[in-house]
Amino acid sequence: MKKLILFASIMLAAVCAQAQLRVYENGSVAINTDETPVGDLSIGYAGNQFFHASMTGKNSCLYVRRYGTPTITNTWWRAIEANTTPISGSFNIGIRGCVTPSTVLGGGRAYGLWGQASNTTSGYNYGVFGSLLGAQNGAAIYGTVYADNGEDTGGRYAGYFKGDVKVTGSINGVLLTSGAAANAISAQTALAANAVSENSSVTDKLTQLVPVQYNLNVPAMIASTESDTATTVHTMSAIEIQHIQKPHYGLVASELREVLPELVYEGQNGELCINYIEMIPLLVESIKELKAEITTLQGGGNNGGAIMMSRAAYGTTSIEESTAVTIPMLKQNNPNPFTENTAIDYTLPETVQTANIYIYDMNGTQIQQIPLTERGESSVTVSGGMLSAGMYLYSLIADGKVIDTKRMILTK
């Protein structure tokens, strides 16, 4: 027994001398470092106080391999398993992969987390698997191009992406679009009094819808100190910038639900979304209905002959004299940009009861209302002295309907 103890002591001393292994009085172990470990096990340096085991090195630091045929089957086998008990008010991470050089290298490739899988049961090979459990909202996989630590998803999703998403293949599923923008520059138009019935034609239903134009709010730049080296600020991509700058067009989801409820979905947070893709077949059907009506008018009536109307039906007024304004229009202000005053031309038919031009700032706040009393082609003048320098939106609203929205720029 004494010989065995002596032999073990000699071997331990040899290992310690060869590998620079030190065991301290508090039980901490240090390997290949002269620094006092701050955790239970430190390899290559003193370690990190937040970790029981820490290691560093110039090459790959840790290699784990499970191989061979296990003695137990039909169970979960892991090369590495990380499990942490969440703490309220803290950032709780199971596994974190981080490849963030302090300067731009300009070469090589970086993978924060690389997962590969193959050759098991067909259909059940996952390179990366994310699962959202419990009753709380969130996402199984959250992806962002911003330097943030996540945001409230407002629901439960398999994937939640913040930023541009590019897919080189096809997308299978229901594609929904938000039915109301946060900064929509439009009037909440009511449906016509003679609302369509379930038996109405597709064309009758579609003509009840009122398209609206709106602009989006400019999101605040998101800064984060997640990196240990410096604070980073996300710069919007070219597509994101254009998405903010360009006007957008859509339908009011609450109105569409009154006419075509099958195209409107309600999200987990109560937000209404529109299935615009499935409106395409309805538009095709509407074109067929209109074509059938045109065919009837051209050759199906009047005993098979074309419907003709004599000049006497119009009286003796010339074409130029009988031309009347039937469509309201809003023109671009001139000059634009302007420094003092600018003119906004518009056209209103005599049938319009009430009409106004509304001016909004880029936050969607109405700052001016100009009543329009003239019909036909007319113009109003906007004084730059009443506004601060910047970009503005102006809309023509006639009888409660948004006719058009344009932008103007004031410089001083």
Question: What's residue 187's pLDDT?
Answer: 39
Single out the residue of 146, 155, 160 nearest to residue 219, CA to CA: 146
pLDDT at 346 > cutoff 90:
yes
pLDDT digits (tens, 9 = 90+) for 56-77: 777 777 888 888 887 777 788 8
CB 406 within 8 A of CB 332: yes
What average pLDDT is seen over the chain?
77
184 pLDDT exceeds 60?
no
The predicted pLDDT at position 370 comes to: 93
CB 324 within 8 A of CB 348: no
By three-state DSSP, how is residue 174 classified?
coil
What tokens appear for 58 in the block? 């110039």
pLDDT digit string, tens, across residues 232-250: 455 667 787 787 778 888 8
CA distance 164 to 195: 39
How many other β-carbons are positioned within 10 Å of the β-carbon of residue 215? 21
Phi, psi values for residue 145, rounded to 5°? -100, 0
Q: Which of 99-103, 136-140, 345-349 has the lowest mean pLDDT?
A: 99-103
Contact 96, 82 (CB under 8 A): no
DSSP 8-state symbol, 119: S
Predicted local distance difference test score (pLDDT) of residue 7: 43
d(CA 143, CA 165): 10
Region of 277 (left: φ > 0; alpha: ψ -120 to 50; beta: rest) is: alpha
Structure tokens at 393: 């939106």
- Domain edges within the chain: 10-55, 138-164+174-295, 325-410
Q: What is the pLDDT of residue 379?
A: 93
CATH number belonging to the domain at 325-410, selected among 3.80.10.10, 3.20.20.70, 2.60.120.10, 2.60.40.1930: 2.60.40.1930
Helix (H, G, I), strand (E, B) or coil at 282: helix
Q: What is the pLDDT of residue 3?
A: 46
Strand-by-strand arrangement of the 29-31 sheet: 21-23, 29-31, 41-43, 53-55
**Between residues 190 and 138, the one the model is more confident about:** 138
Is the separation of the CB atoms in 349 and 324 below 8 Å?
yes
Residue 8 contacts residue 16 (beta carbons within 8 Å): no
Q: Is the pLDDT of residue 391 over 60?
A: yes
C-alpha span between 382 and 405 (Å, rounded): 15
pLDDT tens digits for range 129-169 = 999 999 899 999 999 888 888 888 888 889 999 888 888 88
Q: How far apart are CA 296 and CA 305, in angstroms?
A: 10
The residue assigned the tokens 């938000």 is 178
| Banded model confidence at residue 225, pLDDT cuts 50, 70, 90 | very low
pLDDT tens column, 353-373:
999 999 988 878 889 999 999
The whole-angstrom separation of Cα 108 and Cα 35 is: 33
pLDDT tens profile 290-314: 888 788 776 654 444 443 433 333 3
Q: Give the N- to C-terminal CA distance of the chain in Å, as an integer.
A: 97
